[in-house]
Amino acid sequence: MKSSDPVVTRFKERFGDEILSVEEFRGQVAISVKSARVLDILRALRDDAECPFDMLADLTAVDYLRLDHPERFAVVYQLYSLLRNERIRIKAYVGEARCEIESAQALWGDANWLEREVWDLYGIRFLNHPDLRRILMPDNYTGHPLRKDYPLKGRGERSNFPKYTVEEPS
Amino acid sequence: MGLEKILGDGVLATRVSALVNWARQNALWPMPFGTACCAIEMMATLSSRFDMSRFGSEVIRFSPRQADLMIVSGRISIKMMPVLLKIWEQMPEPKWCISMGACASSGGVFDTYTLIQGVDQFIPVDVYIPGCPPRPENLIDGVRKIQEIVSKEKISDTKHGS
């Protein structure tokens, strides 16, 4: 897909205020947006008349700590149009102070677990998510380990287990 | 067996511990705790080419209550460690443990927040097998080492570890 594609042009006209940048790299279009109206943006792309992006291929996040980006985190939506065989990438920037974004679970069911994974590892809270629990780390885990400021060797989680002891029969 | 021709109806004198250890060391029932690629090598060790049953320990038990040798083969994450502890506690005495491969013994290359840096921090390990993953010969060597340990135990020793 090119950034001159009609679906991108229509998108720019409709959500001009929300767009931070439109990039094209090797035939891939990536649109960076603000996170406030992300649900409207995604719904518009999903229900586009000519090129409906009806499949959420992936949902993940990036931590741009100490890098020159509009906000610290970006939630990345990889969308795919089964009808047109086209792909588009939406990056919604989320700040560190108010680390939350609307859930896309109502638009695509598979967003449920993907958002749980992003919450688990990045600590980005998804509003109106039906079941926002950790999915990979243990339930009693504290912290979000894929954040760049999380220590690689952890905060002692890997050594906080009881040692096996033998109980003497009384 | 042909043995009765030599011995007839005779009597054998032996120490109880020698007899018990002989039985124990040649009928080790392993509990496989395979979580990664080491488990593939363990399966190869059990199958016909390497054939661990030559050493009397082919009866893999997936119930810890029927096993006396735990083979920890693979990475143990912080989410898996409580499971490993519980299964080890469920195994009846006497029991032995092999820590197979670099990950189970030391965390291997995975020096990260989520991986246990050696299961010996939490459960007693008798034999460590180096390698990433170890060859089936190494695992057979580990089982032979366990058999040596078993042969030196006393019948009065009922608990494991110190």
pLDDT at B155 over 90: no
User: So where are chain B's domains?
Assistant: 29-151
pLDDT at B66: 92
Alpha-carbon gap, residue A12 to A58, rounded angstroms: 23
Q: Tell whether A169 is covered by a domain.
A: no
Q: Tell whether A1 is covered by a domain.
A: no
pLDDT, one tens digit per residue, over B72-114 is 999 999 999 999 999 999 998 888 999 999 999 998 899 999 9
pLDDT at B42 over 50: yes
Confidence label for A28 from pLDDT (cuts 50, 70 and 90) = very high
Q: Tell whether A170 is covered by a domain.
A: no
pLDDT, one tens digit per residue, over B113-129 is 999 999 999 999 999 99
Q: Which residue of A has its CA nearest to B86?
A: A164
Nearest to B112 among A137, A153, A155 (CB): A153
pLDDT, mean over chain B: 88
R_g of chain B computed on alpha carbons: 17
Q: Which of B76, B78, B99 to probe the A interface (max A CBs under 10 A)?
A: B78
More confident residue, A167 or B18: B18
ipTM: 0.78
Are A20 and A32 contacting, i.e. CB atoms less than 8 angstroms apart? yes
Residue A162: its chain B contacts at CB < 8 A? Answer: 85, 122
Q: Tell whether A168 is covered by a domain.
A: no
pLDDT at B161: 44
Give the Cβ contact number of residue B41 at 10 Å.
Answer: 23
Name the H helices within A62-153. 111-122
R_g of chain A computed on alpha carbons: 20
Domain B29-151 is found in CATH 3.40.1190.20: no
Q: What average pLDDT does range A36-54 have in this prediction?
A: 91
pLDDT at B162: 38
More confident residue, A160 or B133: B133
Residue B111: its chain A contacts at CB < 8 A? Answer: 152-153
CATH of the domain at A44: 3.30.460.80
Cβ–Cβ below 8 Å for A162 and B122: yes
The residue among A104, A108, A33 whose CA lies nearest residue A119 is A104
pLDDT at B160 over 60: no
Nearest to B124 among A157, A159, A164 (CB): A164
Q: Which residues of B84-118 are buried (b: 16+ CB within 10 A; e: fewer)?
A: bbebbeebeebbbbbbbbbbbbbbbebeebbbbbb
Range of the domain at A89: 6-159
How many Å lie between the alpha carbon of B158 and the closest alpha carbon of chain A?
10
pLDDT at A49: 87
- Residues in CB range of A136: below 8 A, 6 or more apart: A117, A120, A121
Residue B78: its chain A contacts at CB < 8 A? Answer: 137-138, 141, 157-158, 161
Min mean pLDDT across A124-133, A159-168, B16-25, B142-151 is at A159-168
Residue B115: its chain A contacts at CB < 8 A? Answer: 158
pLDDT at A160: 81
Confidence label for A170 from pLDDT (cuts 50, 70 and 90) = low
Q: Tell whether A76 is covered by a domain.
A: yes
Q: Tell whether A166 is covered by a domain.
A: no
CA–centroid distance for A145 within its chain: 15
Cβ–Cβ below 8 Å for B113 and A163: no
pLDDT at A88 over 90: yes
Q: Tell whether A164 is covered by a domain.
A: no
pLDDT at B157 over 80: no
A151 near B CB under 8 A: yes
Domain count, chain A: 1
A156 near B CB under 8 A: no
DSSP bridge partners of B32: B71
Q: Tell whether A167 is covered by a domain.
A: no
pLDDT at B59: 86
Alpha-carbon gap, residue A144 to A138, rounded angstroms: 11
Q: What average pLDDT does range A8-25 have in this prediction?
A: 90
pLDDT at B153: 85
pLDDT, one tens digit per residue, over A102-126 is 999 999 999 999 999 999 999 999 9
